[in-house]
Amino acid sequence: MKGIKIVTIGGGSSYTPELVEGFIKRYDELPVRELWLVDIPEGQKKQNIVGNLARRMVKKAGVPMEIHLTLDRREALKDADFVTTQIRVGLLDAREKDEKIPLKYNVIGQETNGPGGLFKALRTIPVILDITKDMAELCPNAWLINFANPAGMVTEAVLRYGKIKKVVGLCNVPVGMQMNIAKLLEVDSSRVRIDFAGLNHMVYGLNVYLDGNNVTNKVIDMITSENPSMTMKNIADFGWEKDFIKALGIIPCPYHRYYYKTRKMVEHEIEESKKDGVRAEVVKKIEKELFELYKDEKLDIKPPQLEKRGGAYYSDAACNLINSIYNDKKDIQPVNTRNNGAIASIDDDSAVEVSCVITMEGPRPITVGDLPVYVRGLVNSIKSFERAAVEAAVSGDYSKALLAMTINPLVPSDEVAKEILDEMLQAHKKYLPKFFKE
Amino acid sequence: MKGIKIVTIGGGSSYTPELVEGFIKRYDELPVRELWLVDIPEGQKKQNIVGNLARRMVKKAGVPMEIHLTLDRREALKDADFVTTQIRVGLLDAREKDEKIPLKYNVIGQETNGPGGLFKALRTIPVILDITKDMAELCPNAWLINFANPAGMVTEAVLRYGKIKKVVGLCNVPVGMQMNIAKLLEVDSSRVRIDFAGLNHMVYGLNVYLDGNNVTNKVIDMITSENPSMTMKNIADFGWEKDFIKALGIIPCPYHRYYYKTRKMVEHEIEESKKDGVRAEVVKKIEKELFELYKDEKLDIKPPQLEKRGGAYYSDAACNLINSIYNDKKDIQPVNTRNNGAIASIDDDSAVEVSCVITMEGPRPITVGDLPVYVRGLVNSIKSFERAAVEAAVSGDYSKALLAMTINPLVPSDEVAKEILDEMLQAHKKYLPKFFKE
Amino acid sequence: MKGIKIVTIGGGSSYTPELVEGFIKRYDELPVRELWLVDIPEGQKKQNIVGNLARRMVKKAGVPMEIHLTLDRREALKDADFVTTQIRVGLLDAREKDEKIPLKYNVIGQETNGPGGLFKALRTIPVILDITKDMAELCPNAWLINFANPAGMVTEAVLRYGKIKKVVGLCNVPVGMQMNIAKLLEVDSSRVRIDFAGLNHMVYGLNVYLDGNNVTNKVIDMITSENPSMTMKNIADFGWEKDFIKALGIIPCPYHRYYYKTRKMVEHEIEESKKDGVRAEVVKKIEKELFELYKDEKLDIKPPQLEKRGGAYYSDAACNLINSIYNDKKDIQPVNTRNNGAIASIDDDSAVEVSCVITMEGPRPITVGDLPVYVRGLVNSIKSFERAAVEAAVSGDYSKALLAMTINPLVPSDEVAKEILDEMLQAHKKYLPKFFKE
Amino acid sequence: MKGIKIVTIGGGSSYTPELVEGFIKRYDELPVRELWLVDIPEGQKKQNIVGNLARRMVKKAGVPMEIHLTLDRREALKDADFVTTQIRVGLLDAREKDEKIPLKYNVIGQETNGPGGLFKALRTIPVILDITKDMAELCPNAWLINFANPAGMVTEAVLRYGKIKKVVGLCNVPVGMQMNIAKLLEVDSSRVRIDFAGLNHMVYGLNVYLDGNNVTNKVIDMITSENPSMTMKNIADFGWEKDFIKALGIIPCPYHRYYYKTRKMVEHEIEESKKDGVRAEVVKKIEKELFELYKDEKLDIKPPQLEKRGGAYYSDAACNLINSIYNDKKDIQPVNTRNNGAIASIDDDSAVEVSCVITMEGPRPITVGDLPVYVRGLVNSIKSFERAAVEAAVSGDYSKALLAMTINPLVPSDEVAKEILDEMLQAHKKYLPKFFKE
Ligand SMILES: [Mn+2]
Ligand SMILES: [Mn+2]
Ligand SMILES: [Mn+2]
Ligand SMILES: [Mn+2]
């Protein structure tokens, strides 16, 4: 018997131990026999450190999972069952630029939103599309489980331009919301179910059920009266205006702060960047410490310090998704997939983030009907932006990139858009071959 | 023979001579026998001045049009054929607040957009809905031709909550665009046709035809290469980033500057307000001068100085619409009306501004299909806002008003939204009975 | 601990032992403590026979399930968890008329299709709507699981006019298709999944998966080359024209024969009716025999002879549905529920029969996108008919009934529609109080 | 100055004098300088007769319109402004088969509906698509005005597979309905306007306006109480069941009799065919007489006998359409064009027959919203059929043809469909090269 072959592209990431732990925990029902960690030459050092830690973890756990390390993506992809992508084109240096340059213009500097999100898309999408070409050839039946951000735009790009059809985009935001709401309700998270709908990093909880009963209004009351902490490691924990949330009637995600509290978030980012540096700088430090830890030959479990890194539940989300596809679990998970009519005001062939039942045929969206009219506009604004960003990424067309930048709700003017665009194009030149063809 | 009876609510407006001139010019095909100028006690003085000018104009023209002045709306409405509304609840003082208060928060201060647009809606909608009640009783077959701003939200409100069905919202923005584009093409405007679609003050020219041939790309090239002046009296004439417009592929309206050039417009407004005061203050001066002119008993035509006031083509738009309905002209005019499927991504029962063929049954929208994906988001954002604003205006619900304010794309944060809301509610208290019930 | 209370309206039905057996089998995970069999005075004798058999079955199985018999529906409904309806207004005599009268006009005589289906709807819908009134009062949180035919129209009626929202319509057709296809593929039915979409008794299998792989084309090849028996007890087993099914590309249900083989089916029905009588007459005989068996005090299991009756898998479908709601199983079952965007060309608020994931919040439809264009017409024809039939049933309006009859695809002319309508109205007068008000 | 060049393919048709008269009448505003009558060798004799009559008509009228006769289609098309197609592939012999063969199976034998309509589509579509190829090359800016039946399916085919975009399908059914309703109301037809929506030969009048007032209910009352003659030359004048039309609430077209009175129409056709022969046979006789008349060198006007032929208003419809495009008349005409959202439940890119405002940019559909739910099914059934028929015509695929035949609402069974299909394929073999490739 062969078992499952998993290929993780960007395998040298500090998140990998999460994934390894996830596979170890689930080994009985999800027998991963081969885990291939693929990386690029610049990442080889980290790949080795993480790879060795992974091997120690596997050994300690006593499961027969082989850990393969390679720089040859095509060698790894051959006959894979699942391919996970957790790449960061340009590494944390690029993220630092994504976060810093917009701030100079008093514009949100963020990895997946605003100008930073656009550039991350421009750098990442061509690489992922290349991976789908290899997959179509080497493992045409495999699922691509993409964690690489911006996961929504990457999924949109693969749905429209990818060479494979089996793709899912994954994010830990919805599961984080579920955990926070469960905590708020003081119940185990397994008793809570939420109808998620929207886009990646712009997802709403439309209804909350506790033991099958709709408790949305109660949760909204609690959110507005108790002002609980409901955010993520990388997003400042500012509460919402109570009457606003009350009238909204549904539950925004932490990233909505960038849109509904833009001014406060920009001010906060500028302040923070002066104090501790931007998030990339913070993360660099954490990563450095993590890799020091990972080097320790005595370490054979996922170190608890990894939690600071910010990807809480990512491993669980990923392993659960793979597990549910593999075992036809039919549980309900929010993922990024082809809309197919789930949300009426978004095109059928666009990517949405929506609660799906996960079967061995992949995720099947549960119908939403339409989004409440009050959020339809913002969600469609981001989809307009995503569509323009994907076109820009695929074509390398300057005017499409300026269009994407200008229509992004976080960018306040076409002139500012152009200035930021020009500066960021230069800064990321090395990773934007489509824009700088010889 | 009885001829047409027209009732103009807000008849004391400085615009009225435009309308009178329009009816005089068209008398042969559009025989207006009675024009009733209705106003409120606070406006009686102006009403008298304007009414007398109107009478002199009619006399000079030699047409048998009776000018009636009254403060009794119900008396006037009896058996009307067309009711035009050009009211300004709270007069220019209220507009001044709409323009000034948001600026304190570095937010666009504008009559029909952003917080100012919201408050103009909150003040105006209940009054217009009251008028529809009277109309349902006194002239159930009359058409309501609404010029009162914000015309889009007023139309939305009448479609959802009005007691009559025959309503059209009117704006001079599209006709202004047509004039500007004709000038750019150096042709007579009658040879140019534009497919207009969107919302009031957020309308796009999707296609431009010259003598039946699609010249959209040519016009976009000219706009991006010649940077022509294409704006209105009340909107700063900043050009567009060329590559942005090129990629957009359609023609925005002057008001789009508030959305695509927000930062520049706020800065400009703040500067202007320090120099000449906000637009309301400028207009007050113009109005004062106009009414001085109007008083002159020798004046018996529309004085040329009226053009400075800013309502270019309003009279033509209004008279043309009435004429086309009355005479079943079947020409194509952009008006605010029930969508009915014209724009796919907007609800059938919402108001849109779209090219319609004007028949004796009223305006019939021409199908658009859907808006280009790159503008679908922004247009739907404004529709989300408009829907919330209408709910707030009808209910007087504070949280709905905060929702509307927060989701408006020009308002940068829920906290800022709340601060502006609270200050403006106090400032406009007198005209917001729904929000300040005893 | 209280356990589950189930109320079965029409509890004297010969199907009840199926249900009882289903609950007994699942007792461990689905602890039904009270089963109330409700019937009307005309059915009391059968109710007693079935009730006593049920008690013997429960006793034999050794489960603590109480069997209650009552003629007082309201007494039974109090605090119910699930209400199942399996009523037959007018009993088999009415069905006999539904089947015989249309045949006189050379029109399909069938219980749920054509004129018979219309009259079954006219008789049944008012009774079910009455039940929902009682439920809203006595057990507002209970689920209504309706087996009463025509299940699609009954669900449509409850969704539009019912006093409760928790309703599911149930049919054994899809599960039968799955069994037949599994048999065809020679695999266990648990390995087969089918995307079902359409309406009740007009449902298609859009995709067939075997172990997660799409084998639709293979199944269609097998159907066209092997011409397997794929029908139900009450539908003549005529094969399809191969090229027709090949071009259709999806799998019709047994009832589609009435639409795609209308002439053949009418001829066959006429022939059969001369030989063995219509189906109601056959069933009457079977029922009589069954009740003789049920009387046997030694019988304490479901007698195997029940299978001839035609409701294969009904019990399984019903018990599985209740079990999945109760235990939040999240398995995928095809049921009749609110469309909510699952099928694009059908209104959101109409009933459809579609694969749903069954949760403790009820069935959640999985998105279909749209039906293939070649079947969109027929499915919408039936929905047009169903909508007219529901309006007729609720209003008792003669012209609405004639409209429904005329637009039914099985009725060949408005004159014939009127003749059949008039004859059937008289025949069923007793059960159509809305049409014969004093 | 050059004037307008019109090319009429199938110019030898007996209808041509209608067209010539239409152009003569409108010469002042629509200066047709060249009219090219194109035909095939088999039609040359008739072409000469009609051509000579046309020349005499032109001479008599004293207009400088040149009549050109040619068998060389490409020569004629060069630089055309409008191309009209009135071809009949296989001539009246083919029509006779379309009408006779289905009758053998007790199925409607009709030129544009049922099996006859399918075969007319299979013969005609490839020829029209070839014409669009020539047009794309020789007169890319010309409008194709197609009268060739089945006009709906031909338009659908050109929209999906044609090499040009400027196509309109034309039918005289709606204008006939308008005339009949005006007669019923005893008013001049110019005072009546009807919102037409549906498909070709399946169009409904949704609203009727008299002088701008909605009189639909009044018209329906008159139709149901007076049972007026409202049909066309080729369709038996059977009245509707009153309660059916009352509940329908909109006005069906004469062809709807084939669907709502199928049985009666089949019986009538069989009877007629025994008496006077099928319609093709009647027409053949009329045509023969007409051509005898046309030959008369003294005839220099359109002979009144042409009216018997059945194409009443065709010439007016065609000339009005061309005139309105040429002169940007912006009047409202019902034509077959791309839906583009006019009817919600039909795909945007499908052909519909709908009221359009006719501009120099072509017909622009007026929004309908959606069809009333009670007719949505039938209309979509025909669209399903049309889509299958177009696919069959373009591909020559037997199974697609069987699919189209089976799903046609007039064909009662897949077996019958196959029998008719097989017999008709053989009968029309000569004109179906796609189905009989060597
Ligand atoms: Mn994420
Ligand atoms: Mn305006
Ligand atoms: Mn059933
Ligand atoms: Mn026709």
Cα–Cα distance, B271 to D341 (Å, whole number): 46
- Average pLDDT in chain B: 95
In chain C, which residues touch D (CB < 8 A)? Answer: 240-241, 243-244, 246-248, 260-264, 345, 347, 373-385, 387-388, 397-400, 402-403, 406-407, 409, 412-418
CA distance B322 to chain D (A): 14
Q: Topology of A4-91+104-171 in CATH?
A: Rossmann fold (3.40.50)
DSSP symbols for A387-433 = HHHHHHHHH--HHHHHHHHHHSTT---HHHHHHHHHHHHHHTGGG-T
What is the total residue count of chain B? 438
Q: What interhelical angle do B16-25 and B314-327 show, nearest 10?
A: 40
Catalytic status, residue A255? yes
Mean pLDDT of B141-165: 97
**Nearest chain A residue (CA) to C141:** A213
- Tell me whether residue D95 is annotated as binding: yes
What whole-number distance in Å separates Cα of residue A405 and Cα of residue A119? 10
Nearest chain B residue to D341, by CA:
B369
Beta-strand relationship, D4-9 and C362-365: unpaired
Across the range C50-68, mean pLDDT stands at 97
d(CA A206, CA A99): 31
Which residue in the set B243, B382, B402 is minimally distant from A244, CB to CB?
B402
Q: Quick check: D402 and C347 CB within 8 A?
A: no
Chain C residues with CB under 8 Å of A212 CB are 328, 359-361
Instruction: State residue A1's pLDDT score.
Output: 46
C252 within 8 A of C223, measured Cβ to Cβ: no
Mutant choice from D153, D244, D245 vs C, greatest count of C C-beta within 10 A: D244
Contact between A145 and A84 under an 8 Å Cβ cutoff? The reply is yes
- Angle of helix B373-395 relative to helix B398-407, nearest 10 degrees, comes to 160
Residue-level pLDDT at C438: 65
D262/C384 CB distance under 8 A: no
Task: Fill in the amino acid letter for B144.
Answer: L
C-beta separation of C378 from C360 below 8 A:
no
Pairing of strands B167-169, B192-199: unpaired
CATH of domain B4-170: 3.40.50.720
Provide the β-strand partners of residue A208. A194
Q: Could you give the residue ranges of the DSSP H alpha helices within D198-352?
A: 216-226, 242-248, 257-260, 262-275, 279-295, 314-327
Q: What is the pLDDT of residue B413?
A: 95
Q: B318-367, pLDDT tens digit by residue?
A: 999 999 999 999 999 999 999 999 999 999 999 999 999 999 999 999 99
Yes or no: say if C159 and C365 are a contact pair by the CB < 8 Å rule.
no
C247 interaction partners in chain D (CB closer than 8 Å) = 388, 397, 399-400, 402-403
Distance from residue D130's CA to the centre of ligand 4 (Å): 22
Query: Over chain C, what is the mean pLDDT?
Result: 95
Q: How confident is the model at residue A232 (pLDDT cuts 50, 70, 90)?
A: low
Ligand 1 centre from A173 Cα, in Å?
6
Cα–Cα nearest to A6, from A44, A33, A46, A40 = A33
Give me the half-sphere count of Cα atoms (radius 13 Å) on the Cβ side of residue B252. Answer: 28
Q: Does the domain formed by D4-171 have CATH 3.40.50.720?
A: yes
Nearest Cα residue to B351 out of B98, B223, B171: B171
Asked if D171 contacts D336 with a C-beta cutoff of 8 angstroms, the reply is yes
Distances in Å between the Cα of A308 and the Cα atoms of A118, A265, A412, C321, D28 are: 26, 21, 33, 44, 84
- Residue D345 Cα to ligand 3 midpoint, Å, equals 27
pLDDT digits (tens, 9 = 90+) for A78-117: 999 999 999 999 999 999 999 999 999 999 999 999 999 9
CB contacts of C335 in chain A (<8 Å) are: none
Residue ranges covered by each domain of chain C: 4-91+101-170, 379-431
Over the stretch A274-308, which tens digit does the pLDDT of each residue have?
A: 998 999 999 999 999 999 999 999 999 888 888 77
**pLDDT, position D109:** 97
Evaluated on CA atoms C208, C210, C215, C221, the torsion sign reads negative
Residue C263 is nearest to which of D261, D382, D416, comparing CB atoms?
D416
Q: How far is the CA of A131 from the centre of ligand 1 (A)?
A: 20
Tell me, what amino acid is at C43?
G
pLDDT band, residue C1 (cuts 50/70/90): very low
Query: Closest-lying ligand to the alpha carbon of A318?
Result: 1
Q: Which residues pair with A159 in a beta bridge?
A: none
List, for chain D, all residue ranges whose pLDDT scores fall below the cut of 50: 1
Please state, in angstroms and rounded to a whole number, the distance separating the CA atoms of residues D216 and D248: 12
Question: Does residue C437 or residue A401 have the better pLDDT?
Answer: A401
Highest average pLDDT, of A123-132, C270-279, D285-294, comes from A123-132
Could you tell me which chain B residue has the CA closest to the CA of A406? B260
Task: Over range A313-334, report the average pLDDT.
Answer: 93
State both tokens at A343.
Answer: 């949300």
Q: Å from C214 to nearest chain A CA?
A: 8
For residues D65 and D58, give the distance between their C-alpha atoms in angstroms, rounded to a whole number: 7
Ligand positioned closest to the Cα atom of A149: 1
The predicted structure's pLDDT at residue B1: 46
Q: What letter would DSSP give residue A343?
A: B
**Counting Cβ atoms within 10 Å, is residue C373 exposed (0-12), middle (13-18) or buried (19+)?**
middle
Catalytic residues of C: 255
Q: What is the mean pLDDT of chain A?
A: 95
CB contact set of A37 (below 8 Å; sequence gap of 6+): A8, A11, A12, A16, A47, A50, A51, A54, A67, A68, A69, A70
Cβ neighbours, 10 Å, residue C42: 11
Active-site residue among D255, D258, D259, D326? D255
**C114: closest CA of chain D, how far (Å):** 14
Whether C374 and D387 lie within 8 Å, measured CB to CB: yes
Kindly list the distances between the CA atom of residue A83 and the CA atoms of A146, A164, A313, B111, in Å, as whole numbers in the listed order.
Answer: 8, 12, 19, 54
Angle, vertex CA D422, rays to CA D421 and CA D425, nearest 5: 80
Of the candidates A238, A306, A227, A310, the residue with the CA atom closest to the CA atom of residue A269: A238
DSSP 8-state symbol, B343: B
Tokens of B262: 């927000």
Contacts for D338 with CB less than 8 Å, ≥ 6 apart: D159, D348, D349, D350, D351, D352, D365
Give the dihedral sign, CA B316/B318/B322/B324: positive
C touches D, CB cut-off 8 Å, minimum 3 pairs: yes
Counting DSSP H helices and E strands in chain A, the numbers are: 16, 12
- CB-nearest to B261 from A383, A409, A414 is A414
CA of B355 to the centre of ligand 2 (A): 15
Quickly list H helices, B299-433: 314-327, 373-395, 398-407, 414-427
What tokens were used for C379?
A: 């499915």
Average pLDDT over every residue of A349-353: 98
Q: How confident is the model at residue A118 (pLDDT cuts 50, 70, 90)?
A: very high
- Cα–Cα distance list, A5 to A329, A363, C205, D348 (Å): 19, 20, 33, 45
Query: What ipTM was reported for this prediction?
Result: 0.96
- Searching chain A, which residue's CA lies closest to the CA of residue B381? A377
Q: What is the rounded average pLDDT of the residues A195-224?
A: 96
* D388: chain C residues, CB-CB within 8 Å: 247, 374
Residues of C in contact with D261 (CB under 8 A): 413-415
In whole angstroms, give the CA distance from residue B184 to residue C14. Answer: 82
Residues 6+ apart with CB under 8 A from A387: A156, A350, B373, B374
Which of these, A369, A351, A213, A191, lies nearest to C365 by C-alpha position? A369
Annotated binding site of B for substrate: 95, 149
Which residues lie closer than 8 Å to D427 by C-beta, 6 or more apart?
A: D97, D101
Helices (H), B228-363: 242-248, 257-260, 262-275, 279-295, 314-327
Q: Which residues pair with C199 in a beta bridge?
A: C202
Nearest CA in chain C to D379: C377
Cα A44 from chain centre:
23
Residues B372-394: what's their mean pLDDT? 98
Q: Is B190 strand, coil or helix?
A: helix
Answer for the pair B37, B67: CB distance below 8 angstroms, yes or no.
Answer: yes
Q: Does the pLDDT value for residue C307 go beyond 90? A: no
User: Which pLDDT belongs to residue C219?
Assistant: 96
| Spatial separation of the C-alpha atoms in residues D376 and D199, rounded to whole Å | 11
Strands D167-169 and D192-199: unpaired
What pLDDT is attached to residue B438?
Answer: 65
Instruction: Write down the pLDDT at residue C166.
Output: 98
pLDDT band at C106 (very low <50, low <70, confident <90, very high): very high
Distance between Cα D111 and ligand 4 center (Å): 10
Q: DSSP string of C237-299?
A: -PPPPHHHHHHH-SB--GGGHHHHSHHHHHHHHHHHHHHT--HHHHHHHHHHHHHHHHH-TT-
Question: pLDDT tens-digit profile of A383-438?
Answer: 999 999 999 999 999 999 999 999 999 999 999 999 999 999 999 999 999 999 86
pLDDT digits (tens, 9 = 90+) for B199-248: 999 999 999 999 999 999 999 999 988 777 766 667 777 889 999 999 99
Residues in B lying within 8 Å of A, measured between beta carbons:
240-241, 243-244, 246-248, 260-264, 345, 347, 373-385, 387-388, 397-400, 402-403, 406-407, 409, 412-418
Lowest mean pLDDT among A223-237, B33-47, C373-387, D77-91: A223-237
DSSP H stretches of helix in A105-251: 114-138, 151-161, 173-185, 216-226, 242-248
- CB-based neighbours (< 5 A) of ligand 2, an ion: B 171
3-state secondary structure B166-178: CEEECCCHHHHHH
Give the CA radius of gyration of chain D: 21
* CATH homologous superfamily, domain C4-91+101-170: NAD(P)-binding Rossmann-like Domain (3.40.50.720)
